[in-house]
Amino acid sequence: MAKMWAGRTAGNVDSVADDFNSSIRFDCAMAKQDITGSMAHAAMLGARGIIGADEAAQLIDGLQGILDDLQSGALDFDLSCEDIHMFVEQVLTERLGDVGKKLHTARSRNDQVALDLRMYLRDEIAEIGALIRDLLAALCGQAQAHKSAIMPGYTHMQRAQPVTFGHHMMAYAMMLLRDLDRLGDCARRMNVSPIGCCALAGTTYDTDRVGEAKALGFDAVAQNSLDGVSDRDFCAELLSALAILMMHLSRFSEELILWSSWEFRFIELSDAYTTGSSIMPQKKNPDMAELVRGKTGRVYGDLMGTLTMLKGLPLAYNKDMQEDKESIFDACDTVKMCLRVFTPMISTMTVREDNLLRAAQEGFINATDLADYLVKKGLPFRTAYKISGTLVAKCIAEKTVLEALPLEVFRESSELFDEDVYAAIDLRACVEKRRSLGGPTAASVETQIAFVRDAIAQKKGEEP
């Protein structure tokens, strides 16, 4: 079959080259956006008198029929078509005759694909944002339930200072809030219509780009026609935001994997989100968390592939840019898949508060508080630090903990020690004394939960 663009060439492409050139296998995902954009374009053409009003109405009705048939399954994609735009136009022409051929007036596939992709990704951002909000709600629920559960905080993977499980959960919540902000920024900069830029130099027709953009929910139009068809910043920016989101999920996954190990036993993941071993019957593997961690590299690859594809392209459109869609579609699908698994995995996990506390007690994470106790009694911090470290070394040698040392042992190191030292180094007291903004106290965790829930509600209200 000759191509719809046949003219300068015969349009008879070698079958292998034709398959290599085709994009309909993946850009058919934008069918709804392509048809919706075409309906708005037909309406604009009719309103401006570029085509007859009755012709515009026929085009709109015909396009709606194609969309309905695709959604019902009455119409299948023809994979012999080069792309989704050619498929829709071909079916429309088959159904309407010469009227169908008028749809492409005053536009090019260059501005059409840029329009479709922006509309498609706008929808994807909204869906991903909703999934992030669901995960935030699950994190808030776990933080609320375990706001007072003492656990060791770590630096360098060494037990450092006492925090609470709720405090730890809210650290990830803050990361995810930033992810929502980044997605919102992407959506705002993406929401600029390229339609009417045509191939690269605009059109001689008296079009209404602003009206067409408003009809499709855009905030503005591209101010330069070359930029309008060649810009893929919005793809790179969204991929970057998704890569950062996956990095956060991967860090979280790493901790879930560690915490669910026999060595930690801080949490137990639901059977629904783990698997067994084919040979070792005792195993309960955190495969879902491991897959999220692994799929992070896949999204990173999508970002790097897109940046590399774009880096050497002259203006305006080049066929290389067809490679943008598989990467961005894959990244969006991967992120959504990970979030859909991650949220119920978090909400159903069991937190072992007894093991959290035991790890905190055995880690000497109240050593800083012991030093602070002496500082408040007038000792220079470095002197107090050395005394505290010496006492920790003594405890390690004698296989005991600071709280169990007799007062006379404390007083051998400094006469400033008194009975009140035990209250000062009690782990719960160590946490509750850290009342600085954003700290680990139960009250602070409550404040953080309220902050996140308010932010979720506000961001939900900002959606179009």
Residue 157 DSSP SS3: coil
The helix/strand count (H/E) of the chain reads as 19, 6
SS3 content of the chain, % helix, strand, coil (to 5): 65, 5, 30
105 phi, psi to nearest 5 deg = -60, 135
Residue pair 269/361 in contact by the 8 Å Cβ criterion: no
Q: Which of 38, 41, 193, 277 is labelled catalytic?
A: 277
Q: What 3-state DSSP class applies to 275?
A: strand
Q: What residue ranges in 69-164 does DSSP mark as E strands?
A: 150-155, 158-164
Determine the residue type at 424: A
User: Residue 164: beta bridge partners?
Assistant: 150
What does the alpha-carbon distance between residue 392 and residue 396 come to, in Å, rounded to a whole number?
Answer: 6
Half-sphere exposure of 304 (CA within 13 A, CB side): 6
Residue 98 CA neighbour count, 13 Å, CB half: 2
CA angle at 268 for the pair 275 and 403, rounded to the nearest 5°: 150
Catalytic residue list contains 277 = yes
Give how far the C-alpha of residue 274 lies from the chain's centroid of Cα atoms, to the nearest Å. Answer: 23
Distance CA 153, CA 172 (A): 14
15 carries an active-site annotation: no
Active-site residue, from 15, 156, 278, 436: 156
Coil, strand or helix at 311: coil
Angle among Cα 443, 447, 452 to the nearest 5 degrees reads 145
Active-site positions read 156, 277
